[in-house]
Structure formats: C-alpha cells, structure tokens
Chain A
Amino acid sequence: MTDCILETRNLTKEFSGFTAVNGVDLKVQRGHIHALIGPNGAGKTTFFNLLTKFLTPTDGSILFKGRDITRMRPADIAHLGVIRSFQISAVFPNMTVLENVRLALQRKLGVAYQFWRSDSMLHRLNDQAMALLEDVGLGKFADNITEELAYGRKRALEIATTLALDPELMLLDEPTQGMGAEDVGMTTELIRRVSADRTILMVEHNLGVVSTLADCITVLQRGAILAEGPYETVSKNPEVIEAYMGASDVEHA
C-alpha cells in the first residue's frame, strides 16, 4: 500500500504557445489537507482542471491510487471517488437545498436512466440527505430554493453535496473565495471537520485559511512548483516571499 493517493508526473498543459502548467510533479499524501497556492496566473486553476479532467494535459500523467487516470473522462473519475468543487458556487439554483444533496445520493441508486418511475422513489434518500445538511448546518433550510441562500451557505451546500458521494479525495477550488470573514471561519471549520478519513486538495488564495488547515503546501509560480512543505517552512522561503511581494502572507497570517 502506498500512502500517496494522488500523483502527477511531469504534468504539462500548453495553450497555443503558452505553457500554463509546466512539468509539475506533485504527490498528495493520503489523509492530508494539501493546499495549492500561488500568485494570480500561476496556473493553479489550469492544474486543477487537469486533475479533474475538465482539461486534457499536453504531456505527463496523473495517477490516483497508483492507477493511471490521465485519459479518463470527468464523470468516470467521480465514480472512482474523486469529487471536485468549483470556483464559482456550483449548486443547482432552482432546486431545493434538499434536492441538491439528494441528486448526489441518487447516483449510487443507479436510477439515472429510469424515466418510467416516479421520483417519489427518491424520498427514501431524504433522511440521509437531511443528515448531511444537518452536518453542515443547513438543516433548517432544506426546503428553501437554493438560489435564495446566502453565498456562504451555498458553499456549505456544495460541500454537503460533495460529501454525499463519500469521496476519497475532495478537490476544492478556492472554497472561501468571495466570502466575508465570518463565512471564511465557518467554512474553514467545516473543511477541517470533513477532512477526517479523507484527503483534500485545495486551491486557496487566503493564506490565513491555508496556514490553519493545510498539512502540506505547494506553491506554484509560472506553471511550475516553486516550493513545497508545511506552512512554517514555505512561508519562510525567500523565493515565496518575493513571489508574493512580501505583502499578502504578512497581512493574512
């Protein structure tokens, strides 16, 4: 058994002459919260989209639990237990909060193509969905239309939906982006709580969040790894400080 759950080897993505991700070798340890940081344009989101198969790499490979998933389709890696979130809040806006979570639970029933059955058969998932909503503090909003939720709560719902699939590896794309201080605290706490028994790889701008949560940090710059290690080491690395103009980490940490 290897304790490295996700590995990339020489992962590269070129967009007509511009190399967004340049030969990245990354290893994510099982059970860790691994954060991916870097200045704007460092290639974080591209790298993230490569991992989740929303983009196809130009070169290199991606291994999940030692298995090559480089050529798989996005829906297939979800079946393996790799579930991603999105930078913009990824909810189903006109469905109720409960229906959002239930939709994730529904996949395991294998009834996605059954157009001749009544959807009341999905009610058996309601208790499980409620439990997940209670977990993220959304129990009393279950019957609200999702669109009406405050931004921070939508992000919490997104995490509940992701958890519904019981992923081995959660990929979170800037989970606290655009949040007020209060929501950031709530979300940080939530991520910490759900990280038990799971591995999380997150892209995050907020160094405050990274410093409290992450076991390991990878700093990307111009599509390549600049530094890697625990927060204490990385934050003292002179190159990293320079990349961040010495400003933001002092401000947030």
Chain B
Amino acid sequence: MNKTFWIILFVLGLLAPFAVYPVLMMELLCFALFACAFNLLLGYSGLLSFGHAAFFGSAAYITGFVMTQWNFGPFSGIVAGTLFAGALGLVFGLLAIRRQGIYFAMITLALEQIVFFLSLKLPFTGGEDGLQGIPRGMLFGFIDLNQPLNMYYTVFAIFVACFWLIHRTVHSPFGQVLRAIRENEPRAISLGYNVERIKLLAFVLSATLAGTAGATKSIVFQTASLTDVSWHTSGSVILMTLLGGMGTLLGPIVGAFTVVGLEHELSGIGSWVTVIIGMIFIVCVLAFRRGIVGEIGRLWKRSF
C-alpha cells in the first residue's frame, strides 16, 4: 500500500460528514477501530479472543460513569475508559494467555460473561437500561462536541491516531517478533523470546484500543448499554475482521463498514439483516477465505 492511497483515504475521511450522515459515519469509525484493535490480536498475533466486547463495553461504562458522576470532560473520560480496558486486558491476558486455540477463546468468553453480569448487577451501571444521557461536553474546555462536525472530527482524529499506532505496532521490532511467533512459535522460543510476555503485551494493546473505541462510542451515542458488553458484540467484531480480511491493515475497516453499513441500510427489513449477514459470512468463508481485502490483495499481486 503506498502513501498516495492512504492520503486519499484520509481526505475521504475528512470529507465524509458532508456526504454521509455524521452519526452513521462516527458509528462506522468506532466499529472500524474496534475491529482494527481486534485484528491486532487475531490477525497479527494469531490469538482468537471471544471476549473483546468486555473491553469495548466496560470502557463505555467507565467513560459514561466518570462523565456523569464525576463531571470528567470528554478527553479525560475517554482516557479513563481506555485505561480501564487496558487494565482489564492485563487481567484477562494473565489468566488466558497460557492456553491455546479453543481454550483461550473459551476462557476469554467466560471472563466476558462475568463482565456482562457485573454490568447488569453493579449499582452504578443502570441495570437493564444501561447508562443514559452521557453528556458530550466540551473537549479541552472549548470545543463543543454537541456540534456534529466537532464530534465527527474528534472521532476521526482518535481513529487516525489509533490506526497509526496499530500500523506502527505491526511494523515495529515488537511486530517482527509477533510475526515470528505466529509463523513458528517453538522456533521463536528457542531463539530466546519470552513468547508469553510478547503475547500478553499484544493482548493488552488490543484490549486498550478496543477500550478507546468503546469509550468514544459512548460519547457519540451518549449511552453505554448491555449490548456493548454482550457476547454478540464479541462475535460481531470477529465477523467484521474475518469478512474484511484478518492480518491486513485495511481489512477490519472494510469489514466494519460492510457489516455496520448493511445493518443500517437494511434496518427496514428487521431481523432479516442477521440472516443476510450470516449468508454473506458463509459465502466469505467458503469462497474467499482471506476476506475482501485479502482476496483483492492476492489478485493484485498476481496480475503484476
């Protein structure tokens, strides 16, 4: 991928709110960031977590809580949500990282169910209703986020910064070791790399960024709900990543846009959306396993 391509995408992102309904665009970006964070773990570390909604959702709750109860501003609110998700990621990671494959997935799922239960029962989470009416507030004290465009560009800036961080992580000395572990774990161990700690760091990074996505979303929609921490959301982020193409930087963005876009466009037909997305997923797994971006990338390489 060359620079021009990224610049075009960046400019499109800047112009988007004039062509697309800004709230939809913000939702797309939040889920795209969530999927990118998830992909850092699945695509670049080879770990399938089934509990990523725990980070996304708990960050949303924490941000909502500190902003409504403690009068935090949006910036410190998002930072609080993000840090909480990172800390939670450390706890999950320490418990799950020694297990592999299906066991790893099951442990993360179980821990996520605990977070879901706590979100339902704890006194400050609003139970079934979740947190409502989270104020958008004034960013840095002078940018009014109740203005849709201000809100949009804030979300866009967060997205770009996090995406850059993921890009950098993939192309860092750490990223090289991650890649080596994915390709041949015993060999990476025999070269003296502490594989568990490397994986743990990847897990915490992924959880932290998933938290940023959830925290941002809670400010955009001014709510934190049980849906955000439910295992459906964990499943949906897996779907987005696989559909777009795991292990590619652009894939999760394309996947998130496809899934969220379809849900939005087809909302008129009600629950049939789930069936259609399910069908698309089946076709994807059967016919083009690398996902949309993965397949395009392969065709591109072949034709040159």
Which of A's residues lie within 8 Å of B, judged by CB? 52, 54, 74-75, 78-79, 83-86, 90-95, 99, 102-104, 106-107, 109, 111-119, 121-122, 161, 165
Contacts and interface: CB of A to CB of B under 8 A. Distances in A.
Given A78-B191, A79-B192, A113-B198, A93 B172 contact: no
B289 interface: no
Interface string B171-184: 11111110110011
B1 to A, nearest CB: 16
Interface of B: 165, 168-169, 171-177, 179-180, 183-184, 186-195, 197-198, 201, 205
Contacts of A54: 186
B184 A91 contact: yes
Nearest to B192: A78
A230 B173 CA distance: 45
Contacts, number: 98
Given A115-B175, A115-B201, A121-B173, A92 B184 contact: yes
19 contacts: A75-B193, A83-B192, A92-B179, A92-B187, A94-B183, A95-B183, A99-B176, A103-B176, A104-B191, A107-B191, A109-B173, A112-B193, A113-B198, A114-B173, A115-B168, A115-B169, A116-B172, A118-B168, A165-B191
Given A95-B180, A106-B177, A115 B172 contact: yes
Contact of B189 (A75, A103, A104): A75
Contacts of B188: 103
Nearest to A121: B173
A103 B177 contact: yes
Contact of A93 (B174, B175, B183, B195): B183
Contacts of A91: 184, 187
Contact of A112 (B169, B171, B173, B179): B173
A90 B188 CA distance: 9
Given A93-B184, A103-B180, A112 B190 contact: no
A75 B197 CA distance: 11
Contacts of A118: 168, 171-172
Contacts of B171: 118-119
A122 B176 contact: yes
Contacts of A86: 186-187, 190
B176 A106 contact: yes
A74 B189 contact: yes
Contact of A111 (B173, B183, B205): B173
Point out which of B172, B176, B190, B205 has the most chain A C-beta atoms below 10 A from its C-beta: B190
A119 B175 contact: yes
Nearest to B198: A112
Contacts of A122: 173, 176
Given A90-B186, A90-B187, A91-B187, A107 B193 contact: yes
Contacts of B201: 113, 115
A99 B184 CA distance: 14
Contacts of A106: 173, 176-177
Point out which of A99, A106, A121 has the most chain B C-beta atoms below 10 A from its C-beta: A106
A84 B190 contact: yes
A52 B190 contact: yes
Point out which of B171, B175, B192, B195 has the most chain A C-beta atoms below 10 A from its C-beta: B192
A109 B169 CA distance: 17
